[in-house]
Structure 1
Amino acid sequence: MADAKYVFMRIIAPLLGFLIANVMFFSGVPGFLERKRLGELGNFNPLPYPVILANCASWIAYSLYIDDYFLFFANAPGMLVGVYFTMVGYGLSPYGGKTRDAIERWTVGLVGALLALTLYVGLVAKKESDEHKQTTIGLFCNAVLLVYYASPLTTVKEVLEKRDASSLYFPISCANFVNGASWATYGLALNDWLLFAPNAMGAALGALQMALIRAYPSEGTPGGGGGREMRQTPSTADLLSNPTGPGLVNSSAL
């Protein structure tokens, strides 16, 4: 029984989190490549991607301090997606428009924060213990996630106010829940609360979204399918309007 618990918490859970996180990261690629082919951004929202970039980069740094391959490879693809989509989104944004200005501000601000973290951990706190440095990086990761969770938390607030869950999509909410629960389980197995806490929050947010879909079903979706005006499968615009990550994709996905 102990061996089965070990295998589930230390191997199966992070593998499941790795798979779901990267499916969520790459689910928007086809639609975004189509927008690139057309040469226009359309209704696609590229603003979450600078946050995804910073989120994944910070969790990669954290994985180096705890020597964890699962965490590294769960976030490395997401970081590449974040870099690429930020560049493409910026290139397709109208010159002088609000979207382009926002991408500039978010990207420069987040990269600046990463540089400040690197300066502190690598030079200022050079003589501090590895535990201190690990905690500093972990707290930074959690701080970025507060930004990462801002959009879905705003969506939840709107659903509660309007008593209408048409803006939520059940498969995405379910994926957020499983992804967060998987990484929270892994964090618990490692006795790492900096990894456990944000992913537990992501799992709770996914569970709350699913509960809201059941509580406020949209017209034409008895039982709470969510998304009255949604398609059978989510578009990139749907995914980008509701970003949550393990620890991402949703946070660390983290």
Structure 2
Amino acid sequence: MRQPTQHVEKWLRRFHPAPDGETRLVCLPHAGGSASFFHPVSKALAPAVEVLAVQYPGRQDRRHEPAVDTISDLADQILDTLRHLDDRPLVLFGHSMGAVLGYEVALRMPAAGLPPPVHLVVSGRRAPSRYRDERVRHLSDDRIVSELRDLSGTEPAMLADPELLEMILPAVRSDYRAIETYRHAPDQRVDCPVTVLTGDRDSRVSLDEAHAWAEHTTGPMDLHVLPGGHFFLVDRSADVIAKLRQVLSARAARSS
């Protein structure tokens, strides 16, 4: 039985319909992020590719729902949403926390009786086995806002608006709790190629930590270093779109 339409629409945003697109690209946002972050990706790739952006609970139009504060639970619920969208090949693309979620969803797909994604693209995140003692989840609201400002991934106007902050900070804190308490399963690897994108000035990801993604796939891993910090993909959006197009076109060529 297929998922009810309303359930799928609750979790996935389709900004630009692409009924004839041969491939689906599912985009997973960073901690505190929302589906709208990937609107430019959808605009650039449609109609050749159907871009679906995941909307986590606790933000924007889902702000009245409780946020999910473990990667495991989030990955399970995302998989439950994707499991019936099996009529086209699937590529997963996640940034920061979304990269880990993409990895965990990819791991779950074969166990759920689904083919693995044809490709996993991860951005702005160290490999799942590389941990740091990060405790943003325990900071005061003011210090979390300072953290977001330093990362340069949130509109400054939002961070200066007390009413908006009151709405978004619970989800931000929940996301940080999810990613900071995450631990990978050492004996598992995704069964697909992995492309890693990282910024050369990203203080959250060293080059060694990015290279370590090779340990988490049975397929090939390629690493691309772009100029910028943690949100390099905003300033270097043209380069990121070009890399996504390359991944998607290579997949299409292999299947033809």
**TM-score, scaled relative to structure 2:** 0.29
* Structure that is richer in helix per residue: 1
The higher relative CO (CA closer than 8 Å, separation ≥ 6) is in 1
* Structure that is richer in strand per residue: 2
**Rg (Cα) greater in structure:** 1
